[in-house]
Amino acid sequence: MTPQQREPYSYKKLRVISQNLGSYFNLNQGVIFGNTAVVSQKVHEESDRLPGEINVFRDRDAGRNYLRLEESHQVVHVDVLHKPAEINQMDVANRVRRIIPDFLSVIDRNNDWSVEEQDFAAASLARRINLYTAMGFGTALNPDQKAIKGTDDRYTGHVHILAKLRPRYYSLVYCIIDEVERSIQYQGSELRPVIKIVHHGKLQNIPTGSESSLYLPPITNNLPDTLKNQNLFQVVVSLAIRMGSIDAVSDFFQALSPIKSFKLGNLYRTQENLDDILSDLAAEKIIKRTLLGYTLTGTGHELEEFLNRNKKELAAQIRRSIRQFKAAPAKYHSFRYSHLKSKEKQFPNRRKVVTPSDPESWKGEIAVPETVIKAAKRSFLAKSPFPKISAQDIQVYARKSYAPVDTCLLVDCSGSMMGDRIKAVGYVAEYLLLNSREKVSLVTFQERDANISVPFTRSYDHLHSGLARISPSGLTPLAHGIVKTLDMFKRERPRNPLLILITDGIPNYPLWTTNPIEDALKAASMIAEQKIRLVCIGIDPNHKFLPMLAEAGKGNIYIVDENDRNNLIDIINTEKKQFQAG
């Protein structure tokens, strides 16, 4: 459907939307509307940690907080997300104002209003809708207030709407969001997806959104089907983010049986806070404890069936969440020894056509259509009976440079990396693959050897399969990992390879001698000899070993307090940009 087209409003659909929104509001709960908007009667705002993650504050009423109203539950708060842009509030308001009469003619279809009465009702409703963008604010009826300082930075990433609506008119939100999205796209900006909602407040014991928390909206009450399906969706997504993948959640459900309790015991090796997850699920009556172990309740089986039916959609949502992740600046100590520059490749830029300075010696790609058109124009002006292409007509594609960087994650999979740390590595690997055109590989070292878990690939499925096979345990044979990685580089010849070493300890298993540290330093010197850019990210309480390793490998070292996904992504993105910039 194009931005100019709109389906006619349906009375039945609008009534159902009003009822469903009322159910959410009665629970003091926010809801993701479509893909780009959040609706609640509470204060909600985007997280600084993760773009697209919306925090809803249950104890802060939107009307009281924003409009200083005396009574609660009078205002519907809507935010429509878009990429940073200065959206003109006049266009937004005009579109919203124009659809109100159509909305009223459907929702109040039994009212026998005169034309004057219809116009008055529409104007009255428009006056109760407040709009805020980066360029200005006002009501849908009078949107002519400009931002005080020219641009209001609070609204550069979303359109902020406060609508004083009666429950009967809650479905107007659906119409407003539709028109706001059209206005944003019409003005040349792009919409952004809402990744998830995290609730805060005293009404329910809902976690505050840390990596280890679960958001479990109600699914056991007599909820409308639309609301219940969305809550089921959010429960599974929350579990998947916490446990590492949709497949991990599926395995978890299968292990929740007294006769398979040994499988649940195995999960403790990969799920650091499994007891907390079990406790949260039991509190929501998704699982129950018996004499023989945990098992799914009726609601739990319904959740498992929902997962199996919607696995592809749920996996796609997880990928969108990973792709949209925005890391906050990491805190670290760094030492820099690398001065390597990437090698650029040149490609024809088919979006830009230029006239070569010396057509006869030009060796690039000729823009044939543009060349023919120029020759035809010249021949026409010269009144030549037949078009003839000469050197002065030659048009060529400009050249553009690009430095592809293939990234290899060399990961310590010793026993100390079990739990959240190894899940963070998997998250980072998927993030790198989903946010670039280059290849990603993964090499792990543990026990007494190293393993190529994922050769260089652009396939998400191959990467995901390799990550699923990782199981941290044992010793830290770092020298083995480096040598295995260099052997892979010789075979696969990656482009401008960037080697990222992620570790949380000191090597304790040797390769050539009886000293694992000396062997690791010798192996690192081989990285420098092959002119591979090395980046070490790790935990080193004494700040001694990793700086020595980075110096031996002529690389850069980042010592962090924790190898979490935020620190890893911020550091790797910084290194890639510096490497590509030369």
Q: Summarize pLDDT for 7-33 with one digit per residue, the tens.
A: 567 788 888 888 888 878 887 888 988
Each domain of the chain, given as residue ranges in start order, spans 11-200, 225-323, 332-340+404-581, 346-401
Contact 258, 287 (CB under 8 A): no
Q: Give the Cα separation of 330 and 570 in Å (integer).
A: 6
The answer to whether residues 312 and 318 touch, using CB atoms and an 8 Å cutoff, is no
For the whole model, what pTM was predicted? 0.62
- The residue-averaged pLDDT of 244-248 equals 84
d(CA 161, CA 130): 6
Alpha-carbon distances of 145 from 87, 89, 132, 474, 532, rounded to whole Å: 13, 9, 9, 65, 57
Query: How far, in Å, CA of 27 to CA of 308, rounded?
Result: 28
Q: What are 389's two structure tokens?
A: 């292409």
Read off the pLDDT of each residue in 72-91 and give the average, rounded to a whole number: 92
Mean pLDDT of 415-426: 85
Q: What percent of the chain has pLDDT over 70?
A: 88
DSSP annotation string for 244-285: SSHHHHHHHHHH-SGGGHHHHHHHTTT-TTHHHHHHHHHHTT
**Model confidence at 540: pLDDT above 70:** no
Q: What is the mean pLDDT of the chain?
A: 84
Contact 103, 95 (CB under 8 A): no
Q: What integer pLDDT is reported at residue 6 of this predicted model?
A: 52
**pLDDT for position 203:** 44
pLDDT for 226:
65
Q: Are 466 and 454 in contact (CB under 8 A)?
A: yes
- Tell me how far apart the terminal alpha carbons of the chain are, to the nearest angstrom: 44
Minimum mean pLDDT among 66-80, 379-393, 516-530, 568-582: which range?
A: 379-393
> At 207, is the pLDDT very low, low, confident or very high (cuts 50, 70, 90)?
very low
Cα separation, 1 vs 181, whole angstroms = 13
- pLDDT above 90 as % of the chain: 36
Q: Is the pLDDT of residue 205 over 50?
A: no
Residue 275 CB coordination number (10 Å): 10
Q: What are the Cα distances from residue 329, in Å, to 325, 568, 570, 573, 575?
A: 13, 10, 6, 11, 13
Q: What is the pLDDT of residue 275?
A: 77
> What pLDDT shows up at residue 109?
78
The amino acid at 376: A
Q: List the structure tokens of 132.
A: 């805020």
* Total residue count of the chain as it appears in this document: 582
Task: Could you please state the CATH topology (level 3) that the domain comprising 332-340+404-581 is classified under.
Answer: Rossmann fold (3.40.50)
350 or 224, higher pLDDT: 350
Instruction: Specify the range with the lowest mean pLDDT, choosing from 1-10, 17-26, 350-359.
Output: 1-10
pLDDT of 467 > 70? The answer is yes
SS3 assignment, position 367: coil
